[in-house]
Amino acid sequence: MMTPQRMPSSNSLLVKLCLLSLISSINAFMGTQPFISRRLTARFVFERMSEECIGAIVTAQKQAQKFNQREVELPFLVAGIVDMPESEAMTRTLKQYGISWRKTIQALEVVYPGKADGSSIGSFFQRKDPDDDLPFGKDVQRTLKAAGVIADQMKSTTIMPHHLFLSMLEFKEGSPSTAVEDSTTNGAYYLITKIDSDLRPITLCESLIGHLQESQDKSKDLVTGTGEGASTKTLDECGIDLTAQARDGLLDVVQGRDREIQACMRTLVRRRKNNVCLIGEAGVGKTSIAEGIAQVLVSPECPPRMKGTRLVSLELSTLVAGTKYRGDFEERLQAIVQEVTAPKAPPTILFIDEIHNLVGAGAAEGEKIWWHEIGY
């Protein structure tokens, strides 16, 4: 009696197909080693890669073909990582320094001018079959080997896009840590200079390492049930974490509000009666003071009592949205209060911007609620 065989899942089948197609293009992956050893080593490296990492390499292949290149070079590998960063740390690093897909493609067009998608008649005859995989350049081969070494140093059994990113920028951890310094010798760094000439590889790598460390600490908290282990689903939907933006360098430096920021900090560190209400005309900088406080909370000058505190700007427009009848708004607001006061939740400061919009929030249809009715 014949038993039916179970068909593999679509995801695993896709990964295997990508592996088979990519291995055919890396026969020279290990340089001078014998063919069998070379092939086994290449297969082992790619079997360690995550699906997103393989997807990043596939994207690099497609971009190299789009620009009519004979081999995959480091600038195309940058595009692959930007397309599939996978980890939250890699995504935050790219966003922090403004490395987007659109800017990356524009930079590729600068690095490879007039070579995209058959811009000349000659390129039409030189163009390879889209189904044919391009070989990897020597720099990419070294990057793939180094990515495995970096993954081992980080005690990771899987090679992920951030390992590729660190290896292609030649990051070496130490005191001090180092990275590539000459853009003329490294295609990845050269492409990054076309995105932003002020970016430095060591800055990108150290920022990525910092975000990876934060992600590991958060995972430990989730396992041990401490710190950020408490869920803040409603707050995450209705608020913006200003301390996270300050940590990523997404907030502008606040000028001329040092006295007000210090006065707010003195009130916030109190044990009782520690609420601050900022009153002023529109455009005088009330929200900027909150952003300045967020920058203090992530800086070395943060008071010891406030360390680890996050500042979340509560978006009332999102909080009130959909609250047609009395009780909906209060229920959502109570959920946020319960989330930030939970025993396992990190210390949180709520910044309610445009607080005067609370007038009428939660009123029944055809009814208004005035300040004196809600205790103001």
Residue 89: closest CA among 238, 225, 219, 252: 219
In the chain, where the domains are located: 17-219, 225-374
Query: Residue 223's pLDDT band (boundaries 50, 70, 90)?
Result: very low
351: tokens are 């910044």
258-294 b/e with 16+ CB inside 10 Å = b? eebbeebbeebeeeeeeebeeeeeeeebbebbbbbbb
Its pTM stands at 0.58
Question: What is the model's pLDDT at position 265?
Answer: 92
Q: Is domain 225-374 annotated with CATH 3.90.1150.10? A: no
pLDDT band at 170 (very low <50, low <70, confident <90, very high): very high
Q: State the average pLDDT over residues 308-321.
A: 82
What is the homologous superfamily of the domain 17-219 according to CATH? Clp, N-terminal domain (1.10.1780.10)
> Over the stretch 115-165, which tens digit does the pLDDT of each residue have?
666 544 444 445 555 556 788 999 998 999 899 899 989 888 889 999 999
Q: Is the pLDDT of residue 289 over 60?
A: yes
CA torsion angle 175 176 177 182 (round to 10): -150
Helix spans in the chain (H): 10-23, 35-47, 51-66, 74-83, 88-96, 101-111, 121-126, 138-153, 161-168, 187-195, 201-224, 233-238, 242-247, 258-268, 286-297, 316-320, 328-340
pLDDT value at 41 more than 60: no
Kindly tell me if the per-residue pLDDT of 359 is higher than 80: no
pLDDT of residue 234: 80
Contact 59, 80 (CB under 8 A): yes
